[in-house]
Structure 1
Amino acid sequence: MRSAVMAWGRCLSVLPVFLLAGIPASGAALAVADGAFGGHFTESARVGEDQAQVIYYRAADALAAGAANVYLDQELVTALKPGGYTVFCLTPGRHTLGAYLDDAPDYSGKTRELYAAAFKAGATYYLKVREEGLNQPMPVNKTTAEAELGDTREQIHLLSRASRAEPCRYYDFLDDPTFSVRDFTVLADTAFNARGGMTNDGSRAVAAILAGLEQVNAQIIRVEVEGHTDPMGAGANNQAQAQRWADGVRRALIERGVPQSVVVATSAGSRNLVQHSCYGSHVEQQVCYAPNRRVMVRVQVRTVKAR
């Protein structure tokens, strides 16, 4: 099994990134009552840096008549019939993937001969079922895939059970795309309670950040979340507290739809102060140092047209 994993990993590592334009296909198969196939394949659309895209298909002239069960990370995506294709996206990184012809009733695709490879951010992979019975995906180049996919239709008769398959997020990129970095500040005193949980004010602050980005149709490329404390207390405690605040904001962003693969959370402790040299009682110092207790959210975006 180790040799199979390494061999397919080498195959995928040399695949080119095919970034084309305009497919109406969904990321996962949908259950319908009026047939196994949907529309014909057209072209693959471009995904952002937060996903990798897989187009898995069987040639229309495939000799084996049975279904080829496609598995992603040991969970069923769909069952491809000759002339069928499926499109789905996943988080960049290492995954297992393969297509198994008539593997019922033991469904070996979930447990045996698992082929793994690293999927690159922003890449589209064309993979074809091997009709000779091998389960390892067959990487196909753009020219060959486009020629063969022209005779295929979307496989739509099953619901995907693959929890790590994501709906693809497609973007119409500007001819001259605008890249920028946007900085936001979440004040910890109002965003978090004494136990470290996020308050309603904190949730609204995170929601406002995303709402503002949505209004300008900004594609999120990367989010850097950095926690900061005041200089009061021990340095190790401040480092840990700032990390907890940063982790809290990161969770809130992910819960609101930001892909976890593009959000990182770190702690600066009390090293980067905006308010220095506060005096007076403990309470007075706390009030004076309040601007230091914050979470900085830096969002790298690419401005795109609304789809």
Structure 2
Amino acid sequence: MKGFKKVNNVMKSALIISAMFASASLQAQVFQGGENNTAAPSLTSQYFSMPQVVPEQAQLVYYYPASVNAGPINIYVDKEFHTALLPGEFTALCVNTGQHVLAAAVNDAPLYQQKATAGVHANFNGGKTYFVRSAVGDGVVSEAVPRQEAEKELLEMNRNTRLINRASSVQNCRYVGSGNDVTLIMDAVLFQFAGSRYDQMLPESQAKLDRLVEFTKRSNNVGSINLVGYTDGIGKNESNRRLSQARAETVRQALVNAGIDGAIINVQGQGVAQTAGGCSKRQDDGCNKMSRRVDVMINSH
């Protein structure tokens, strides 16, 4: 990785991202979906499948595999600094629909010169989530990745929470079902295959739910909690819809039993998750495991 030119690196990132957004066929394959607030939302550092954003926004997940390891990568949005990623980290951001300028640069600090001179104009479609990965080429480049492939890699990565975004066009994400509220915490709990009871929730997800309850009780500005249940693609659609609803109802009951006011909890079952698209019928496939879940969104007033 030594000796490559930073300018070529940024230009190549721009070209690949440009092709990613320009190709309609690639959009169909890759982008399966993507209120400003002065305080950054509290989000888990581990990856979980991103819910669908509202039609007025698009979501971008940019990740940096540990295997690339070319030094810090700075991410710029509309020529302003968004964040810096270390190997093994990812960032997720939302913007208004329409055209934005994206750029990524290696070892660009402390002058951050590439934010003003590099980048590509890319069009973001409403309600979509886009996945982009750093890869090794002539230097480090950025490439579009299908959601299923990206989420397998993201399971081993951590969200960057060290730096505060400085790009003014980056917004707190608003997810389908959360209305105009700002999402304070977004997470997911997983279930066993065909399971919907509390004792069929994975043990680590039970512990996670306990932490979400603790946060909600401590906070003085929680206005609503949205629970959206999903399933893998195994089985009939109607059965999966009922199963997804039952999973969401189980999480609701667990929250109520823990002392959370049921009046602020909204529940819906969406059936088969987007993450199950293209999965095999094997129960132990990672994309199937990730799809047997309930998304939890804790929102402010």
TM-score (norm 1): 0.47
TM-score (norm 2): 0.48
Query: Which one has a larger percent helix, Structure 1 or Structure 2?
Result: 2
* Higher gyration radius (CA): 1
